[in-house]
A = this chain, B = another copy of it.
């Protein structure tokens, strides 16, 4: 395609990245994937202050990534926990892809701090690209084309 012929905004990659920033939101999403649900646990595990964490949880709730649910333990008052919604869970493939990338290109001295296993069989988990016919696909073999939502530049 001649890239200049097409107005691709808002495109999905940009939307996704804007959805994930600021970095403090990334920390909250990460901990949610690691199973954290309670406010105090988020504070301790993210290192964010309570006011910053509250703001990020509100943002992520508003954007549909996290939901707030009441829970109550016997003899205690009602509290709230924060869980990934279906939309949030669905970010998992991208989060695992980012983790694999960082393991490779931003390695920590003693190796990864987190490894991922398939619950059923214990084997390591990876993300891969493929096409709908079933071929494995390298990024250099991916062609980006204007989709149905693309507008020609200069049209409304």
Contact B93 A97 (CB under 8 A): yes
Query: Quick check: which of A52-60, A72-80, A106-114 contacts chain B, the rest being far away?
Result: A106-114
- B contact residues around A50 at 8 Å (CB): none
From B3, B98, B135, A17 is in contact (CB under 8 Å) with: B98
Interface residues of A in 64-101 (CB under 8 A from B): 64, 87, 89-101
Query: Interface size of A by Cβ–Cβ distance < 8 Å?
Result: 92
On whether A119 and B141 interact (CB within 8 A), knowing A23-B21, A149-B111, the answer reads: yes
- B contact residues around A11 at 8 Å (CB): 30, 99, 113-114
Contact A142 B64 (CB under 8 A): no
Cβ of A43 < 8 Å from any Cβ of B?
A: no
* A148-B96 Cα distance, complex, nearest whole Å: 18
- How near does chain B come to A132, taking the closest CB pair, in angstroms? 4
From B17, B89, B135, A26 is in contact (CB under 8 Å) with: B17
Which of chain B's residues has its CB closest to A86's CB? B105
